[in-house]
Structure 1
Amino acid sequence: MIWSWWPDNWHDRYIGNDSVIFDHQDHFFELVDALSAIRVLARLPIEEVAEKDFLRQSLDALMAHQNLGQCSIFTAEEGLLQCAVGAGVDTFGGDGVSHQAESVESMRFVLGEGIMGLAYQTGQIQYCRNCKTDPRFKPFVRRALFYGDGSLLSIPVISGEQVLGVLNVSHHLPEFFETWHQHFLVLFANTLGRLLHLHRMIHALGDEVAVRTQSLEQALEESDALRNRYQQLSIKDELTGLYNRRYFFAEGEAMLARAVRYESPLSLLLIDVDHFKRVNDTWGHTVGDQVLCHIADTLLSEARTGDLVARLGGEEFVLILPNTASEGLDMMANRIQEQIASMGFGIVDQSIDLTVSIGMTELGARTSTELRVQLEQLYHEADLAMYQCKLNGRNRRMFFSREMDQIERMPSGV
């Protein structure tokens, strides 16, 4: 391929003819520069940059190793050849890197129009030896890219059988480009075409991966949200947000185990809203639900860190208080009663007087070693004490005593 750029009669012309040795040497260095441009092009990090930056770096490689006037790359977009990047001697600095030139976004051709349009349409290199006299040459209306009698090469940028765009190379002199220029630029454009196609594939794959990753992350977030939601539903009361009966017995056993292990006090409060059935019957279940939520908020505000507050069902709430003996338990129950009584819950200019009955019990000395049995026993004792409050007129708090074992239970909601 390299030697095809040389004249067919190079042996007869150059060997033994000292007068052309230096011309031959210059031509050889031009070919080395041409190969250097292709080598730099092939080593560009296409996966790391945007397409426009890659195309600009491609022109940098070409301009840095060739004595050319101006270069540009047009890509096909929506039936037009649109100038993607351009570089020229006026923008190519001494540092060997092209610098941002004038905006070229308005420079475009219809496919098949002008020299570069023909290059795109035919897939063949087009050589305009003199832009001033060649009728195929069509200058830009708003901005002349080529001046005077200069020459122009338009080379299709091809990948496989697909034409991706056109590489344009110009010089201010007519008839400037030789055969070897054409061979070299075709090779450069073909290499550029393969790299551009690969760049687009890599970035399209990256975009697809990003979209799929985003979709997967969104699906995982939704899955986590659903899992958390179902987990909350499994341990939380949906109405009040308090822990439910299931969680109460599971966590209650763990709290009880710690109290037994460290021989520390532990107490239990069972709270029932007085005349709650009357609230539902008079103002409706929506108001009843609001009452339960307000009471739940009150219990949470009174609870300490480490206390367990749960709704067991209906209008019944429970608190487990670690490191709390009878005196502290009674103080807590008293505060709860005062807070609920002072809530002043009003509906349509009517006030609802709310009171609660509270049964209380302590861990104390238990004979059973099974935690579940002990917890159920504590709950049963607080339940009996709470019903004794109901029997005694409600709006009371009482500690469990053995005499309460004979209490006959009252119906719920009273």
Structure 2
Amino acid sequence: QAFLIALLDEENQELEDVYLVDRDGRWPGVRYSIKRGICGYVVRTGRNLYIEDLNEQIMRELDTWYFGRTERTVRSVLAVPLRAGERVTGVIAVQAYDPHAYTETDIEVFEQLAANAAIALENARLFAETRRLAITDSLLGVYNRRHFFELAHAEIERARRYHHPLSVIMIDVDEFKRINDTLGHLAGDQVLRAMAARCKAELRTVDVLGRYGGEELVVLLPETDMTGAVEAAERLRAAIASEPIVVDGSAISVTASFGVASWSADQDTRLEDVLDRADRALYEAKRSGRNRVCAL
């Protein structure tokens, strides 16, 4: 009367119920330690678990719980590990209100279902990981230039069609060459990673952060006019300059300059037009003394 797929988060040693459904429909998933519950037991042991007649003592021993409707008590539970090679990646489980609900044939069929599901889920994970690597800058963990432009062109078309505001921020680390020359390129890479992380922490989920080239980052701000974009740029500037970046035990004070431009249907026909104005604003910020925001 119920079906569950739980996937393992190896880094945090947690399970997440990604699909949980009974006769009343789908239920919201939860996360929990692999030290708890029936699914946690299956992940830890790597073995099937068939409980023919569930009772309170077994529930206490496994530190498990009911979900869904509770006017009828679950009596039978069958849980099988999902595997990618020798590695357990999750659990697939069913439960019934009657004791001794599953036969040996049922178990064999469910094991085959688990094997097929594990292959499909692992292929989906590998596809998602391959796509993530294809669109992400490997050093900074932000979108690479190609994917940034793909997303930005789509946002420009949306802004044009619906007459919505849109802005761009160009970011460049101040005196980055000096950092590379005095501390080395590995230190420079660490500075760029830290700067990108601080920017990501300050941006909205709808904002698009990408690596434009070298030490330059670019941010696309949907539904944001010039005033909002300048305020966002000031927050980013303050976040980067707020405290030194620690590199190999040394604290490095880092600042960045910002150029801001907003999409205008009257004067912009291409994404490149907005980026060009943001780039010119960035040049003005550099020329005016660095560690500041300029807008055009």
TM-score normalized by structure 1? 0.42
Q: CA deviation at 1:375?
A: 0.6
| Highest RCO, 1 vs 2 (Cα 8 Å, sep ≥ 6) | 2
Aligned partner of 1:387 among 263, 270, 283 = 283
Distance change >3 Å, CA 276–CA 210, structure 1 → 2? same
Partner of 1:34: none
Aligned partner of 2:199 among 299, 306, 318 = 299
Aligned partner of 2:272 among 366, 376, 380 = 376
Q: CA deviation at 1:273?
A: 0.8
Q: Which structure has more strand as a fraction of its residues? A: 2
Partner of 1:278: 178
Aligned partner of 2:221 among 321, 325, 338 = 321
Partner of 1:173: none
Per-residue Cα deviation, 1:268-306 (whole angstroms, up to 9, x for no partner): 100011122222332233322222222112212221242
Instruction: Tell me the SS of whatever aligns to 2:220.
Output: strand
1:219-298 aligned at under 5 Å gives the runs 219-298=119-198
> Counterpart amino acid of 2:223?
N
1:96-115 aligned at under 5 Å gives the runs none
1:112-191 aligned at under 5 Å gives the runs none
- Number of residue equivalences: 194
> Counterpart amino acid of 1:384?
R
Partners of 2:144 and 2:251 lie apart in 1 by: 29
Partner of 1:135: none
Q: CA deviation at 1:394?
A: 2.2
Q: CA deviation at 1:214?
A: 4.7
Q: Which structure has more helix as a fraction of its residues? A: 1
Gaps of at least 5 residues in structure 2 are: 1-103
Distance change >3 Å, CA 216–CA 381, structure 1 → 2? same
Instruction: Tell me the SS of whatever aligns to 1:379.
Output: helix
Partners of 1:347 and 1:305 lie apart in 2 by: 28
Aligned partner of 2:242 among 318, 335, 342 = 342
Q: Does 1:352 pair with 2:248?
A: no
Partners of 2:182 and 2:257 lie apart in 1 by: 21
Partner of 2:232: 332
> Counterpart amino acid of 1:344?
P
Percent identity of the aligned residues? 40
Partners of 1:348 and 1:232 lie apart in 2 by: 29
Partners of 2:141 and 2:250 lie apart in 1 by: 27
Instruction: Tell me the SS of whatever aligns to 2:261.
Output: strand
Gaps of at least 5 residues in structure 1 are: 1-202, 401-414
2:199·2:240 contact (CA, 8 Å) conserved in 1? no
Partners of 2:275 and 2:247 lie apart in 1 by: 34
Partners of 2:268 and 2:248 lie apart in 1 by: 52
Per-residue Cα deviation, 1:74-113 (whole angstroms, up to 9, x for no partner): xxxxxxxxxxxxxxxxxxxxxxxxxxxxxxxxxxxxxxxx
Q: CA deviation at 1:212?
A: 5.9
Partners of 1:267 and 1:299 lie apart in 2 by: 16
Q: CA deviation at 1:231?
A: 0.3
Distance change >3 Å, CA 345–CA 219, structure 1 → 2? same
Q: CA deviation at 1:368?
A: 5.8
> Counterpart amino acid of 2:275?
Y
> Counterpart amino acid of 1:357?
S
> Counterpart amino acid of 1:308?
V
1:4-83 aligned at under 5 Å gives the runs none
> Counterpart amino acid of 1:261?
R
2:233·2:258 contact (CA, 8 Å) conserved in 1? yes
Distance change >3 Å, CA 349–CA 239, structure 1 → 2? closer
TM-score normalized by structure 2? 0.58
Aligned partner of 1:396 among 284, 287, 292 = 292
**Aligned CA-pair RMSD:** 2.6
